[in-house]
Structure 1
Amino acid sequence: MLLNHTLRLARLDLALLTRNRMAFFTTIAFPLLLGCVALLLKDGFVSGVSSGLYILTGMLALIGFFVTFMHLTTVFTVRREELVLKRMRGSVLSEAAIFGGSGLACTVIYVLQVAAIITLGMVALGGHMPRNIPLLFLGVVLGSVMFVPMAAALSGFTKSGESAQITVLPAMLVLATTSQASFPLAGMPDIVQRVAGALPLSPVVDVIRIGYFGQDFTQAAPHPAVSFAESWVAAGPRLLLIAAWIVVGVLIARKHFRWEPRSS
């Protein structure tokens, strides 16, 4: 029953997405344009790999922020203020199905976009197939799952759908500049690197790059090459960190998520 309700809600969310121009741009058009940024920076090398592919793999992680976190923060806020969440909660739908349906719709879109951008990288940047496809897409899926409760939590502090874009801006700036999605932090103080590496988006970037390049990006450059099996070992601590952030996100969401409109 839970799976059936989740799938139905996911299909409904996907259908509604195509009817909302702003949501369509935020979750589909803009992330694809973001992935194309790598095409402008294809010359040179960063951390021992092609700068274009370095940026592209970083964008694969950052796109999840827009597709899941930014979009769902707006969706949850609008539905709360319009009493949609209250009605859904009062129906036969469980809370898990409500969150799961929206999260599944975003994850499906995200996975398809990642596949499309990797293909673009192979054609336009002379890239290659990911060295560990299952690991790369596991990082993508877990990254999307991680952002669902975080979006639910942030929506509790967001007054309206219009203000959601502003609410998520600080998080976007912090995560984009500390995750090494666009540039390495090798020249920064050790404490800065440690803190940045512990933030939510950083492990997603590392897992995706390990899966794509077959190199251990948790180590300093030049990143040592790893086999298919060794890449799982290298990514293990980062996968655990993503799982920890999922737990943290759920705990924060349970405390701050609102099912009814804000009183002020």
Structure 2
Amino acid sequence: MSTAPAPARAREAAGASAAPAHFAALSRTELALFLRSKSNLFNVLVIPALIVMGTTTIMKQFDLEGAGLAMGQVMISTSAGIVLVMALYAPLIGIYVLRREEHVLKRLRTGEVSDVVILAAPAVPMALAALVQFALIAGAVAAISGLGLPAAPHLVVLGILLGTVLTAAVAALSTAAARTAESAQGISTIGFLLLLLTSGTLVPLETLPGIFGDVLRFFPLTPVIELVRSGWTGRGAGPTDTLVSVATLLAWTVLCAEAARRRFRWEPRT
């Protein structure tokens, strides 16, 4: 039996019922702020696409054919990792820290808005930009390389959507190490390098010695890359491989979300 006072339980119930409205209102506000900033639009919409184009030079250094891979397949899965990290993870850390330094998060918590809604709303503009950008890049690469449509599109969608939630959770957790808005840039740089280098985004796992590739398959962002590639090629799209990838993604998401809940700072550090 709950021991919370009746007024407290009533406020909690009212907050839960109003969560969709709160989320919609905050998301619209965040989207308007995002669209007003030309630097945000450039950093989120242009830079990731340029980096994806630049990674073709990196991929040519690996024996993709010997690993049973084609350039088009690799570039589509690579674009998923780059877009999620560059268009969502890195800018979202800066947004969270900036909102914290400006006491915006603290003020929102004094009302009925839940913590989940407060943290989810700022991610909406970057998440939408990442999803649209991946769709455009993947479509262009598939058309140019002759890959055609994905063999298992549901795996591509599943990987991108679950990867979006995971990336937002990792961004929220990463802010615990950022004391100021200036230091957030350094934290995001370290974070996105680790995510890209350990997920097969920049270095295909198939080109690594067996033990390294096997271990890295259980790192946070790797299942996203594998689900997207499996969805497009049809290889490794069986129930067992899919279940392992999804379970790994969900486990990391829950772990990061719980760690963020415990360590996220809502007020500026003194």
- Residues 134 and 4 (structure 1 numbering): CA distance in 2 closer, same or farther, change over 3 Å? farther
The residue number in structure 2 matching 1:95 is: 115
- Say yes or no: does 1:117 pair with 2:137: yes
Number of positions where the alignment pairs a residue of Structure 1 with one of Structure 2: 250
* 2:256 aligns with one of 228, 236, 249: 249
The residue number in structure 2 matching 1:9 is: 26
CA distance in 2: counterparts of 1:173 and 1:75, whole angstroms: 19
1:72 CA displacement: 1.2
1:139 CA displacement: 0.6
Deviations 1:96-127 (A, max 9, x none): 21122223333222211111112211333223
Deviations 1:111-159 (A, max 9, x none): 1111111221133322311111121011101111012122111112102
1:187 CA displacement: 5.2
- Say yes or no: does 1:60 pair with 2:67: no
Secondary structure of 2:77's aligned partner: helix
The residue number in structure 2 matching 1:262 is: 269
- Say yes or no: does 1:19 pair with 2:70: no
* 1:81 aligns with one of 80, 101, 105: 101
- Say yes or no: does 1:31 pair with 2:51: no
CA distance in 1: counterparts of 2:40 and 2:254, whole angstroms: 27
* Stretch of structure 1 that moved more, 80-89 or 185-194: 185-194
* Stretch of structure 1 that moved more, 103-112 or 76-85: 103-112
1:59 CA displacement: 1.9
- Residues 45 and 193 (structure 1 numbering): CA distance in 2 closer, same or farther, change over 3 Å? closer
* 2:174 aligns with one of 123, 129, 154: 154
CA distance in 2: counterparts of 1:151 and 1:131, whole angstroms: 31
1:233 CA displacement: 3.8
CA distance in 2: counterparts of 1:131 and 1:41, whole angstroms: 26
In the TM superposition, 1:34-53 aligns within 5 A as: 34-37=51-54, 45-46=64-65, 47-53=67-73
The percentage of aligned residue pairs carrying the same residue is 27
**1:179 and 1:202 in contact (8 A); partners too:** yes
Secondary structure of 1:192's aligned partner: helix
The residue number in structure 2 matching 1:139 is: 159
CA distance in 2: counterparts of 1:32 and 1:11, whole angstroms: 25
Unaligned runs of 5+ in 2: 1-17
Amino acid aligned to 1:244: A
Amino acid aligned to 1:61: G
Amino acid aligned to 1:260: E
Deviations 1:43-100 (A, max 9, x none): 8844323213312321212210122211111110000001111111112321121122
- Residues 238 and 152 (structure 1 numbering): CA distance in 2 closer, same or farther, change over 3 Å? same
* Stretch of structure 1 that moved more, 37-46 or 241-250: 37-46
Unaligned runs of 5+ in 1: 217-225
- Residues 10 and 160 (structure 1 numbering): CA distance in 2 closer, same or farther, change over 3 Å? same
**2:149 and 2:232 in contact (8 A); partners too:** yes
Q: Give the TM-score normalised by structure 2.
A: 0.84
CA distance in 2: counterparts of 1:137 and 1:37, whole angstroms: 25
- Say yes or no: does 1:163 pair with 2:183: yes
Flag as ranges the 4+ runs of structure 1 deviating above 6 A. 41-44
- Residues 245 and 180 (structure 1 numbering): CA distance in 2 closer, same or farther, change over 3 Å? same
